Structure 1
Amino acid sequence: MDLHAQGARPQADGYLAGPRQAWFAFAMTIALMMVDYIDRQVIVSLFPHLKQDWGLSDKQLGALVSAVSVTVALGAIPVALVADRFSRVKSIVVMATVWSLASISCMFTRNYSQLLAARALVGLGEAGYGSVGAALIASHFPARMRGALMAAFFACASVGSVLGVMLGGLIAARWGWQAAFGIVGVPGLVLALLYWKVRDYRTVALNPRLERATSSTRGAAGAIVRRLMRCRTLLWLCLAAPAQLILVSAVWAWLPSYLNRLHGLAPDQAAVRASLVVLCGALGSVAWGALADRAGRTRPRAKLHLTAFVCVASSAVLAMAFGAQHLGVVLTKPMQFALFAVGGFLMTCSVGVVAAAVIDVVHPGIRATGASVMSLFQNLLGLAAGPFIAGLLSDAWSLEHALTVMPVFGLLAAAGFMAASRNYEADLQLASQTDAIGEHAAGTGEAQGMPA
């Protein structure tokens, strides 16, 4: 149901249609986010089976993960443009249907090329979901709650990854790796039908200049570049966030194989162990998002300072976990796994903070499109790059050496977050003024928007 058709306005308490509708929208959106990442990450626990059955290299295995992120990145902006100007709910229903059917189709593939193509189609269906879902949630709730809600929303990516890794290993051990794809694809189809019950937020009117700029992917790309050049916060976040995600995605993709090869665990046992580390990441993203909200109450830039500090800490812990023996430090397997868990808790620190910061500094009429810009960078330069880079290094050196050097990207992320903090408060103030003008105009039926 589209609130625009009803002429609904945000309520005095800041909720779009009341707490009940807001929390229903939140529950449905995070449920689909979990399914999204179950379908993405189920592949990583199947690496040992694929390597044995098809004789794939680590580079090829990494590409099966990266293919999803590449198509997510390429499709994010066009999908967000459609969602911003027409319907968020209908767009999400279509997305969930496409990626679920694509995931199910993976079970029928008979060679690497077919599986790679099917995985790319999964990503095409998922393109734009994170940004559109985040915009829907942000518009249903008061601004004061966005940081924690965005952290919880994107934490469901971690929860979905946990379930994907664990279920993939367990299902493959019982029924074969092909069955894993089919089983995890079904819930998305069910949720897609239920999502019709979610209320949409009204489409915010734009001025002619911004309307023209966002009427096509090409026009949006030009507007995005101009906006990035003027908003230094967005520019630095688009560099810092992917750098940290390179580390996150490499660990998530390759830890099951690491435990299988170096700890001698069976694929299903390795998948369950690795899923515990990913679960720590889910908890960490919520915890760090809430702490960042608190740190930024009186001094907004402090949330980015905190994120930069934790990025450095995650790099130090994971470098020690994977490379202790090269530094002359002897770790038992339980001690090493404990470091994996701590590193997993720390490395997802930027997820909620980045999502909230991006939404805070863009025009309210193009929130989904603005979030899709970040999605483009995160998927193409972060989630797609991490597993593939680690796979290349693993083929050249070893998986152990590859994962030992990956934490350097966390240090690059920390530098980017510090740079973003310099202009964050000024960009936040400008966006807040734009938001207030847009809400007033929408309420009177005279929304003019602000210059792009």
Structure 2
Amino acid sequence: MELHCVKPAEGDFAAAPAVSRKYAWIVFALTFGLLLSDYMSRQVLNAVFPLLKSAWGLSDTQLGSLSGVVALMVGVLTFPLSVLADRWGRVRSLILMAALWSVATLGCAFATSYGEMLVARAFVGLGEAAYGSVGIALILSIFPLHLRSTLTGAFMAGGAFGSVLGMALGGFVAVHFGWRASFGAMACFGIVLVAAYRLVVSEKRLVARHADGSAAESNPRDVITSFRALVAGLFSTISVVCAYVGSGLQLFIMGAVIAWMPSFLNRYYGLPADKAAAGAAVFVLLGGVGMVACGIVTDRVCRTMPSRKWMTAIAYCLISFTLLSIGFRLDTGALQLVLLGAGILVVAGTSGPAGAMVANLTPASIHASAFATLTLANNLLGLAPGPLVTGFIADRVGLLGALQVIPLVSLAATVAFAIGRSRYTRDLRRIDALRGIAAKE
């Protein structure tokens, strides 16, 4: 059950593909653009809730199901579709997925009933399910290893930016042209990007730009031969498991704070619902900017000593814990908002380092599957339970009391990253040993 190909050690920068810098950034821009389209198509629905409710007389439960069905499809299908993409080809998979969610979003514009809208939204979720994991796997395969934290942080931040754009632009278009036009605009944006992607990016072109003429995805069937081998590659070391767990736990706080920020601003600052939502959007953007900035800082700090990525992740956990813990205990006012903003700026800063760790500790040929596993950890340990647990605690001690407790989860994330750091060198040696065995075979 040995893996036939193992990711080189983190410091082995020579192993990075020799890709034209200009072409690599064009591929990144197009892939990132489609990620924006992904989240814009997903979140535009929230902007037209009131119009749909009025037009079709929908209940809040039905409205919630139209949003929830996308998350359900993504949660259920992320991993299996990522595994298929590793085997079938990442570029082909990305184009197919983007085309599917774009056409499905257009279908939402023509829906005439709740049932039709629900089916269309399910297909939106089907198209979006594995895009994030496959997209970042493709991006990392064409850039030098020392940019992994920056690229992972920037790519993951696209979700925050796309969500805000989808709600803002969707609401604007809906007010001026109707809710159907909102879905149509998002669909057209996606279709144009799909056409551009198909013209510019191809698997053959990417393979041709590798120094050795072989990309990780050029023949994935030669790499993983069974499900057991796949699982072994995804969970081969204690440190990679710690990266999954630490990332998920830290995003628990991000999910909780962002979900409850509108209510916090409404209850404790007396802002009406629309202004509270607008204020919360600013915090969402801060979180996205922080992912990018922290990824850049991590790569700069770790350029000569890549193992420092674990220390930067630990630092982001402790800084966010301190800022948010103090912030939620202050009286309402400018100082509190500044501290909370600073805390949210770094709370998801672990996304870049964690993604780089996962990429360094798993075979390149299964990176889409590895990032799907990271996505599952982020959702199952963090983004999904965060808002729920916060609400459960808030019912007993009040929302402010709950938000004062939630930052403690950062300490658990710190422990996970610390354990991963303590095992990292040993695990890299093990990976190198397996790589040597595979080379002899």
TM-score normalised to the size of structure 1? 0.77
Separation in 1, partners of 2:47, 2:322: 26
Distance across 2 between alignment mates of 1:228 and 1:23: 28
CA contact (8 A) 2:83 2:368 kept: yes
Alignment of 1:31-46 (within 5 A): 31-42=33-44
Matched with 2:332 is 331
Please say if residues 72 and 127 of structure 1, whose CA atoms lie closer than 8 Å, have aligned partners that are also in contact: yes
**Distance in 2 between the 1:254 and 1:46 partners?**
21
Bigger drift between 347-356 and 411-420 goes to 411-420
What does the per-residue CA deviation read over 1:83-102, in whole Å, with 9 as the maximum and x for residues that have no partner? 22222111111111222344
After alignment, is 406-415 or 257-266 more displaced?
A: 257-266
1:73 is matched with 75
Distance 2:420 2:84 in 1: 29
Which stretch of the first structure deviates more once superposed, 254-263 or 241-250? Answer: 254-263
Distance in 1, Cα, partners of 2:262 & 2:53: 13
Specify the SS of the correspondent of 1:212.
coil
Aligned to 1:344: 344
Is 2:234 the counterpart of 1:234?
Answer: no
- Cα distance, 1:44–1:399 mapped onto 2, change above 3 Å: farther
Q: 1:205 to 1:189 in 2, by over 3 A?
A: closer
The 3-state SS of whatever aligns with 1:331 is: coil
> Would you say the 8 A contact 1:38–1:161 is kept in 2?
yes
3-state secondary structure, aligned to 1:349: coil
- 126, 133, 140: which is aligned to 2:128? 126
Deviation string 1:13-54 (CA, Å, 9 cap, x unpaired) is 954442232111111011112222233444566788899986
Give secondary structure in 1 for the equivalent of 2:362.
coil
Distance 1:63 1:422 in 2: 44
- Counterpart-to-counterpart distance in 2, 1:418 and 1:51: 49
User: Which residue of the other structure, out of 187, 197, 213, is the alignment partner of 2:189?
Assistant: 187
Counterpart code for 1:424? Y
**In the alignment, is residue 372 of structure 1 matched against residue 372 of structure 2?**
yes
RMSD value, Cα:
3.7
Matched AA of 2:201 = V
Q: In the alignment, which residue of structure 2 is the partner of 1:98?
A: 100
1:194 positional shift: 1.5
Seq. identity, %: 36
In structure 2, relative to structure 1, the CA distance for the partners of 1:450 and 1:377 (3 Å cut) is farther
Amino acid at match of 2:36: M
Picking from 310, 320, 340, the partner of 1:314 is: 320
Contact 2:150 2:352 in 1 (8 A): yes
Separation in structure 2 between the aligned mates of residue 62 and residue 404 of structure 1, nearest angstrom? 28
Range moving further from structure 2, 405-414 or 258-267: 258-267
Give, in angstroms, the shift of residue 360 of structure 1.
Answer: 1.0
Quick one: distance in 1 between partners of 2:188 and 2:433? 44
Q: Which residue of 1 aligns with 2:211?
A: none
Distance change in 2, residues 1:256/1:105 (3 Å): farther
8 A contact 2:40–2:166 mirrored in 1: yes
Deviation string, structure 1 residues 240-289 (Cα, Å, up to 9, x no partner): 11111222123333333443455444554334322222222222112211
Amino acid at match of 2:143: F
Q: 1:298 to 1:382 in 2, by over 3 A?
A: same
Matched AA of 1:122: V
Distance 1:306 1:247, change over 3 A: same
- How many angstroms does 1:349 deviate by? 0.7
Kindly indicate whether residue 276 of structure 2 is the aligned counterpart of residue 274 of structure 1. Answer: no
Deviations 1:132-181 (A, max 9, x none): 11111111122222222222222222322332343355556666777655
2:20 corresponding residue in structure 1? 18
Answering whether residue 202 of structure 2 is matched by residue 199 of structure 1, we say: yes
Contact 1:62 1:388 in 2 (8 A): no
Measured against aligned partners, the alpha-carbon deviations of 1:332-382 in whole angstroms (never above 9, x if no partner) come to 2x3333233212211111111111111111112222222222122223333
Offset at residue 232 of structure 1 (A): 0.6
Query: Offset at 1:409?
Result: 2.7
Where does structure 2 lack aligned partners over 5 or more consecutive residues?
1-13, 208-214
Q: When the two structures are aligned, how many residues end up with a matched partner?
A: 414
Give the Cα separation in 2 of the matches to 1:181 and 1:404.
Answer: 39
* Partner of residue 8, structure 1: none
Structure 2 Cα separation of the partners of residues 238 and 262 of structure 1: 35
Q: TM-score, normalised by structure 2?
A: 0.79
CA contact (8 A) 1:95 1:129 kept: yes
Equivalent residue letter for 1:211: I
Aligned to 2:11: none
Once the two structures are superposed, residues 394-425 of structure 1 have per-residue CA deviations (whole angstroms, 9 ceiling, x without a partner) of 66765545444432332322221112112223
Conservation of the 8 A alpha-carbon contact between 2:224 and 2:230: no
Tell me whether 77-86 or 350-359 shows the greater mean CA deviation: 77-86
Tell me if structure 1 keeps the 8 A contact 2:236–2:362: no
The separation in 2 between residues aligned to 1:182 and 1:286, in whole angstroms, is 30
In 2: Cα distance, 1:281 partner to 1:242 partner = 15
Cα contact 2:310–2:417 (8 A) shared by 1: yes
- Shift of the 276–56 alpha-carbon distance from structure 1 to 2, 3 Å rule, reads same
Aligned partner letter, 1:366: I
Q: Is the 8 A contact 1:25 1:199 kept in 2?
A: no
Within 1, Cα distance between the matches of 2:396 and 2:60? 15
Name the SS of the counterpart of 2:224 in structure 1: helix
Partner AA of 1:212 in structure 2: T
Q: 1:346 to 1:367 in 2, by over 3 A?
A: same
Give 2:425's aligned residue. Answer: 425
| Paired letter, 1:375 | T
Does residue 293 in structure 1 map to residue 299 in structure 2? yes
> What letter matches 1:373 in structure 2?
T
State the SS of the aligned residue for 2:313. Answer: helix
